[in-house]
Amino acid sequence: MSGNKRQRELARQKFLRQQARRAQQRRRAQIRARVTLATLAAAAVIVGVVFAGGLFGDDGQDAAAEPNPTVSPTVPGQCDYRPVDASGGREITQAETPPVIAATEGTVKAVVHTNQGDIELELDQAKAPCTVNSFVSLAEQNYFKDTNCHRLLTGAAGGVLQCGDPSGTGRGGPGYEFDDENLEGATYTEGVLAMANSGPNTNGSQFFMVYADSGFDPAYTPFGRITKGLDILAKVAEGGVTGPSRDQPKTKVVIEDVEIVRA
């Protein structure tokens, strides 16, 4: 691409991002206004709910873990990356917010370089554009560099290795969240790549790789497949688990880098 064409394309993308941000701000202002009116009208009911403890789940998490009320974008490829803070036990390792306009066709290849070997991925932009857009953005920011895969699930229910949290606690993320995608009919069979979350529409940076068929409910965005490296995951699984919750891999897996392969 020539210098002039590149400048024009960058200017076009900047304009689209500005327009999307303004649209998001308008939507959020409208939502805040509606929520305020509803709160005033139902104050007595809310007091009763608070008294009964109904604003909190059984695990002590607050309403942030409930489905996000933000209206989902209707423009193909337009993504709503919402800022989050360190409340509710989150561990924020701040990243730049991805571009709000995502590609909606084709696939992207990625290589997860680990201390155990390379795992190759094919990311599906057509089915999960905002998820792939975020993953690629984080990879290109070196967000996953030198991070541990912190969770290993084994046994009859299936098997997954969970990664993408720089804090290594399972509570970490990039300082933003976004909505679920591609959930209709989702299954988590061997080779699926999907997002981990803490409830509906709370995707961040954590993802998991399925090395043995898992019977999870369709609640985790599938956004690609493992095309090479399942043998590495199987070897890690054979090493077993450790830690207080018996869900940390005994065989340490460190992501040294995630490389996005450009054609």
Assess if residue 205 is contained within a domain: yes
Check whether residue 245 and residue 128 sit in a common domain.
yes
Residue that terminates a domain, selected from 36, 55, 74: 55
Assess if residue 162 is contained within a domain: yes
Quick one: 259 exposed, middle or buried, by C-beta within 10 A (0-12, 13-18, 19+)?
Answer: middle
If we measure between CA atoms, which residue out of 184, 143, 179 comes closest to residue 164?
Answer: 143
Q: Which of 70-79, 111-120, 253-262 has the lowest mean pLDDT?
A: 70-79
Assess if residue 94 is contained within a domain: no
Token look-up 């209206």 returns 71
Residues 52-75: tens digit of each pLDDT: 222 222 333 332 333 333 434 457
Assess if residue 84 is contained within a domain: no
Assess if residue 81 is contained within a domain: no
Check whether residue 165 and residue 245 sit in a common domain.
yes
Residue that terminates a domain, selected from 12, 30, 55: 55
Check whether residue 24 and residue 154 sit in a common domain.
no
Query: What's the structural domain count of the chain?
Result: 2
Give residue 25's domain range.
3-55
Check whether residue 126 and residue 246 sit in a common domain.
yes
Assess if residue 116 is contained within a domain: yes
Check whether residue 243 and residue 173 sit in a common domain.
yes
Residues 157-183: tens digit of each pLDDT: 789 999 999 999 999 999 999 999 999
- CA torsion 88-94-99-100 (nearest 10°) is 10
Identify whether the C-beta of residue 240 lies closer than 8 Å to the C-beta of residue 99. Answer: no
Identify whether the C-beta of residue 203 lies closer than 8 Å to the C-beta of residue 195. Answer: yes
Assess if residue 243 is contained within a domain: yes
Check whether residue 37 and residue 122 sit in a common domain.
no
pLDDT score at 13 = 59
Assess if residue 195 is contained within a domain: yes
pLDDT score at 9 = 55
Check whether residue 129 and residue 256 sit in a common domain.
yes
* Rg of the chain on CA atoms, in Å: 20
The gap between the terminal CA atoms of the chain, to the nearest Å, is 14
- CATH number, domain of 167, equals 2.40.100.10
Residue that terminates a domain, selected from 55, 82, 97: 55
Which residues share a beta bridge with 192?
Answer: 225
Check whether residue 127 and residue 253 sit in a common domain.
yes
Residues 114-151: tens digit of each pLDDT: 999 999 999 999 999 999 999 999 999 999 999 999 99
Alpha helices in 57-141, H assignment, sequence order: 129-140
Quick one: 130 exposed, middle or buried, by C-beta within 10 A (0-12, 13-18, 19+)?
Answer: buried
